[in-house]
Amino acid sequence: MTMLNETALAGKVVLVSGGTQGLGAAIARTAARCGAEAIVVTGRRPEVAAGLIDQLESLGSRALLVKTDVANLDEAVASVQATIDAFGRVDCVVNAAAATSRGTLLDTTPELFEQHVNINLRAPFFIMQAAVRDMLARSAKGTIVNVLSISALTGSPILAPYAASKGGLMSLTRNAAHAHRFDGIRINGLNIGWTATDGENVTQRIFHGAQDGWQEEAGKKLPAGRLGDPDEIADMIVFLLSDGSGVVTGAVIDWDQTVVGGQD
């Protein structure tokens, strides 16, 4: 349960890319608990969102699921227009969809690199473009949060294309925030660390042969004794979407248990 004010997003229309499961779904639920008027979630596989729309509506928000593969630029941009067509506007955007497949500098193919760039960088760029155009056309304020990664700051050798794409999105976040700072449009990002999401579970099993209980074992090696929780991250993201975060824009917050540059 969120610790945010239940009216933090009152009257807001929220678009969450990659919102059908994991962190994206947690963000959507938190937005609903914080009074969002309407929430649009997008994803490639609507079947994994079974029950989510009902959940959001039971929490008091109007809700819509838009089947979207953000690797397809037309579909990514169309998700913004679908939000506007359904609810008249878009007030808040969260770019949560991401590719996390593995690759090093030496074994990454052009196709894998392109996949990461298309999903992790190109899609957020043009989703933001479409949303900001709507905000400007209405002379309205708005907020955007990009889900980044602590890997944007360097990352593991096996995350080369992921780190490159998230690093680009980190820079884009600040660039766009600077460009629209006088338009009342605030844009921030969150460099999240290792988090216990559905997607991470699949990734660990596919690429690292993880077995049941891997989350607990991995957590024992971390300062907090556990992996990050999607609901905690969702609270931070909704806070950044809300007026509660004040004038903050262009901020990239490290949400992790490690301290960049720290040494023992």
* SS3 call for 254: strand
Which residues are 53's β-sheet partners? none
Rounded to whole angstroms, what are the CA distances from 173 to 33, 124, 146, 257? 26, 10, 7, 22
Exposed/middle/buried for 137, CB within 10 Å: 0-12, 13-18, 19+? exposed
Is the alpha carbon torsion for 65, 70, 72, 76 positive or negative? Answer: positive
For this structure, is 139 an active site residue? Answer: no
Residue of 17, 61, 165, 166 marked catalytic:
166
Catalytic annotation, pick one of 61, 79, 149, 165: 149
**Which of 142, 235, 246 lies closest to 190 in space, CA to CA?**
235
Which tokens in the block code for residue 58?
């039971």
Choice among 162, 165, 242, 245 that is catalytic: 162
58 is catalytic: no
Three-state secondary-structure class, residue 39: strand
Which SS3 state, helix, strand or coil, does residue 62 take? strand
Task: Give catalytic residues, as residue numbers.
Answer: 149, 162, 166
